Structure 1
Amino acid sequence: MRHRLPTAVAAFVAASLLLAGCGGGDDEDTPSGSSSAPAEPTASETTEPPEPTYWPLTGLERTGKAPEHPVIVTKVDNTSSSAPQVGLGAADLVVEELVEGGYTRLAAFYYSQVPASIGPVRSMRASDIGIVPQGATVVTSGAAPVTINRINGAGIPWITEGDAGVYRENTRSAPYNLFARLGEISKRLDAEEEPPPYLPWGTEADLPQGAKARTLTADFGAHSTSWQFQDGGYVNTDSYAAAGDQFPADSVLVLRVKVGDAGYTDPAGYPVPETKFEGKGAALLFHDGRVVRSTWSKDGLHGDIELSTKAGELTVPAGRVWVELVPAVNGDVTFAK
C-alpha cells in the first residue's frame, strides 16, 4: 500500500520548493556552471569480489567453507574377493598401486564429501608414504610391523580396527569384511590447515590436442585395470565396485614408476613391493577421449607432483581423476582409438 503525506505538510513542502526555485543561487558559494561533488562510493561499490577457492583433490571451484576434517585416505581391496566395493563413487580421487603378487590396492581420497561406509578396508604399504598427502589421515586394517614403523616415522596418522567407526560386516568373509563409517570418523578429526592441490589443476582449454585414445588398459602383472571413454567420462570396465557406486573418472592419469623391494614377504610368501613415488618418469594423461604424453616429476616423497611436455607445464583439467601408478618395469599401458 502506498502512503500519502498529510495535506498541511504537502502544502508546506510545495511552498518551500517554489521559494527555492525563485530565490536564485549564491554565486560565491556555487560558481555558475559547476555541479556538486559526486557522492562517495559505498563500501559495497568499492569491495572487490572474493577470490574463488578450489577443492584440492579435484581442482573444481568450491562454494562455502572448507571441511573441518582433513583429507581421509582409505585403503581398499581391489581383488574379486572385494566385490562389491562400497563408497568409491563418493571419492574425490583414487590412486591405484602395486602390491604383492602383481595385484593392486586402492587409496581412495575423501574430502569434499564422505560416504556413509567404505570398504573392504585393507592394510597399508610403505608405498603409501609417497601417496598420502601431508596432513591426511589413513583408514586401514593395519600393516606389517616394519611398515607401521615407517608410516609412524613419516608422521602419518592412521585409524584401524578397534577405533570408533571401523567395524566388521557380518555378511562377508574375513579379511574382506572390514568397513569404515567415514561420516562418523570425519566428525572427530580436526584439520590444522586446508590441504594444498594434489595435482597441477587447469582447464580443458589448457590441454594440448593429444592423440585419439578411447580405451586404455593399465597392466600390473596379475591384475589389469581397463577404461573406456563413454559419455564424456571414463568407465572402469572391470571394476569390482557396487552397481551405481563406481568412481566417475573425468580423467585417467598414468604415471610410470620405479618399484623396489619393501624388505619382507606377505603371509603367502610373496615379496612385498614398494612403489618409489619420487623422482621422475613417463606420464600419460587421458581426457576427453584423447591422450597427452608427458613427463612427471616429484621432489622427494612429499614433493608436489608436476607434469610437463616439451612445450612446458602440463595441467590436469579440473575434475575427478584416477591415478594409475604403473611399474616402469614389468608393467604395461596400452590404448587404442
Structure 2
Amino acid sequence: MRHKARMRRTALTTAVLAASLSGSLTAGCAHSDGDDNRAPQHTATPAAPPAPGPQVAASGSPLVVKIDNVPAARPQNGLDAADVVYAEQVEGGLSRLLAVYATRLPETVGPVRSARESDLELLRQFHRPTLAFSGAHRKLLPQIGKAPLRAQSADQDPSAYFRATGKAAPHNLYLHPAKLLTSAPGRAALTTGYRYGPAPSGGTPTAARTLRYPAARFTFTWSAERHRWLVAMDGTSTAMADGARVEPATVVVQHVRIRDSSYRDVLGNPTPYTETVGSGKAEVLRDGRSFDASWSRPRATDGTSFTTAGGRRMNFAEGQVWVVFAPAP
C-alpha cells in the first residue's frame, strides 16, 4: 500500500510540474495584440525554421527591414545605405519606415520594429525578400508565415539582433544584416519597376517639400551643392548615429488609399492599411524640381511604374529613392 501511495504521489507531482511548465512556456510566448511602447514579447512566426548562420542572397532577393521612426528611436542606423525607403502611416498618425537593401549592407540597422499587414502586399514585388522585423500582431503572424518571403524576426534568429544601450525598449533593438545575408544581392534585386535616367523636360523648381501625417512630418530640402534632397523628420534634420546624412536623389509622393485594417493596437487604435496595388497620382522630386506624375501597379507581383503628365515613363535620378505614401485626396 505504501508503495502504491508513493507511486500516486509521484504521478501527481509529475502532472503538476508538467502543467506548470506548460503554463510558463505559454506565458513566455504571449504576444501583445498590437504594437505598444513596451518591450515586445515575441511570438515566433509560424514559418519554416531558418537555416543556421547567414544565407547567401540569391539574385533578386533583397533584405527589407522595418525601422522605428518615433523621436525616441532617433538617431537611427543604416538608413543612409538603403536603396529604397518607404514611409508609411501607422497607428496614432505616426510613421514607420521600410528600408530595402540590395547594393550594400550596413554594419547595423535599426531600431527594428514590428511588421504590418500592408507590408506583405508591398513586398510581393520582390522575389522572396528577407524581412527583418521585431514581431507582429498575433493574428498577423500566420499570414507572414505563409507569405512568399523569408521571415527573420528577433525570435527566429536572435543571434542577428542585439539590444543597444542609450535607448529604452522597444526603441533599442538593432540588426546585424551580415547575420542574415552573407553579401548584398545586387541591383537585380530591386524589382521595383522604377526606371532611372535623365530628367524629363519641364517640372517646377522646388526648394523644399513637406508631407504630413496626423502625428508625423517629413521635409525634403534640395541641396544644389550636394545634388540631393536633405531629409528632416518632425522638424529635425535626419542624420544617422554615426553622423551620416540621409540624402535621397529622388523623392516620390505617392497618393494611395489608406484605410483601417482589421487589426488594432493595445490602445484600440485601428492599424492603417496602405493600398499599394492600383493606380493614382504622384509627385516626383528630382534635380531640384517637382514633376506631376501618375503611378500604376496592376498586381501585387508587379513593380510600380510612373508616367509623366504627358504619358511618358518617368525617370528617377541615380541614387537612393524615398517613397512617402500620402493619403489620396
The answer, yes or no, to whether TM exceeds 0.5 is yes
Matched, 1:198 2:197: no
Change (3 A) 1:81 1:196: closer
Q: Answer yes or no: is 1:223 the counterpart of 2:216.
A: yes
Instruction: Report 1:86-165 matches (<5 A).
Output: 86-132=77-123, 133-162=126-155, 163=157, 164-165=159-160
3-state DSSP class of the match of 2:294? strand
Deviations 1:54-92 (A, max 9, x none): xxxxxxxxxxxx965731011000110101111111111
Secondary structure of the corresponding residue to residue 139 of structure 2: helix
Q: Matched residues in 1 for 2:149 and 2:296: separation?
A: 22
Q: Where does structure 1 lack aligned partners over 5 or more consecutive residues?
A: 1-65, 330-337
Determine the structure 2 residue equivalent to 1:23.
Answer: none
Which residue does 2:174 correspond to in 1?
179
Matched residues in 2 for 1:117 and 1:68: separation? 21
1:85-137 CA deviation, whole Å, 9 max, x = no partner? Answer: 11111111111011111111000111111111111000000111232223211
Q: Give deviations 1:317-337, integer Å, cap 9, x for gaps.
A: 3321111111115xxxxxxxx
Q: Mapping of 1:43-58 within 5 angstroms?
A: none
Conserved 8 A contact 1:77-1:119: yes
Shift of 1:222: 0.9
Which residue type is aligned with residue 290 of structure 1?
R
Give the counterpart letter for 1:104 in structure 2.
S
Q: Percent identity?
A: 28
Cα 1:142–1:240 shift into 2, 3 Å = farther
State how far apart, in whole Å, the 2-side matches of 1:281 and 1:240 are.
Answer: 32
1:214 lines up with 2:207 in the alignment: yes
Instruction: Using the TM superposition, name which of 242-251 and 107-116 deviates more.
Output: 242-251
Residues 276-332 of structure 1, C-alpha deviations (whole Å, 9 max, x = no match)? 111111100000110000110101222220111242222223321111111115xxx
Q: Post-superposition shift, 1:147?
A: 2.0
Tell me which of 164, 173, 179 is aligned to 1:169: 164
> How far apart, CA to CA, are the structure 1 residues paired with 2:89 and 2:153?
21
8 A Cα contact 2:103 2:184, kept in partner: no
After superposition, residues 1-337 of structure 1 pair within 5 angstroms as: 68=58, 70-132=61-123, 133-162=126-155, 163=157, 164-187=159-182, 194-195=188-189, 197-204=191-198, 206-230=199-223, 231=225, 232-237=227-232, 238=236, 239=238, 241-242=240-241, 244-312=243-311, 313-329=313-329
- Cα gap change, 1:209/1:235 in structure 2, threshold over 3 Å: closer, same or farther? same
User: Are the equivalent residues in 2 in contact too, given 1:262–1:273 (CA < 8 A)?
Assistant: yes
Shift of 1:167: 1.6
Give, in whole Å, the separation in 2 of the partners of 1:327 and 1:134.
27
Q: TM-score, normalised by structure 1?
A: 0.72
Offset, 1:243: 5.3
Name the TM-score, length of structure 2 as normaliser.
0.74
Larger radius of gyration: 1
Partners of 1:196 and 1:240 in 2: CA distance: 24
Provide the rounded CA distance (Å) in 1 between the counterparts of 2:184 and 2:283: 35
> How big is the alpha-carbon RMSD for the aligned residues of Structure 1 and Structure 2?
2.2
Give the 3 Å change call, closer, same or farther, for CA 95–77 of structure 1 in structure 2.
Answer: same
State the aligned residue count.
261
Structure 1 residue 246: deviation in Å?
3.2
**SS in structure 1 of the partner of residue 218 of structure 2:** strand
Q: Which amino acid aligns with 1:285?
A: V
